[in-house]
Amino acid sequence: MREKRNNNVYLLHILEAVQKIEVYLSNHTQEDFNKESWDQDAVSRNLEIIGEAANNLDTLFRDEHSEVPWRKIINLRNIIVHDYADIDLEIVWNIITEYLPHVKTEILKLHEEVHSQCV
């Protein structure tokens, strides 16, 4: 069994990946994103990181913070990794523009909470 997980480290990994996605897409429209495989690959990789970090959070921690859709985040990672050939760019765009900002806000709150408990 794994030693106690450092939830704050995983929260930071999520935040860093979200910020990278924001930078990649800061000057792109959905049309640009659909045409540019580099951006698609970069976004996909960072969505994988977000899902993997979420999966590595302590289960009790995730249960205590159900305001974050952990299962959906982890499932998205699994789809990207295992069903990569069937990824719908429209759905990915919707996720990163409509849902990711909310996730970021919630993760920032959790990070501040966890960080203040460690200090």
Q: What is the pLDDT of residues 26-57, one digit of tens each?
A: 988 999 999 999 999 999 999 999 999 999 99
Query: Rounded to two decimals, what is the model's pTM?
Result: 0.90
> Is the separation of the CB atoms in 93 and 33 below 8 Å?
yes
Q: What is the DSSP string of 86-113?
A: G--HHHHHHIIIIIHHHHHHHHHHHHHH
Instruction: Name the band, by pLDDT with cuts 50, 70 and 90, for residue 1.
Output: very low
At which residue do the structure tokens 């999520």 appear?
A: 14
Q: Which of 62, 70, 25, 64 is nearest to 44 (CA)?
A: 25
**Residue 96: which H helix or E strand, with range?**
none
Q: What is the pLDDT of residues 61-84, one digit of tens each?
A: 999 999 999 999 999 999 999 987
**Residue 119 pLDDT:** 58
3-state secondary structure at position 115: helix
Is 77 an active-site residue? Answer: yes
Of 2, 62, 71, 77, the catalytic one is: 77
**Residue 84 pLDDT:** 77
**Residue 29 pLDDT:** 92
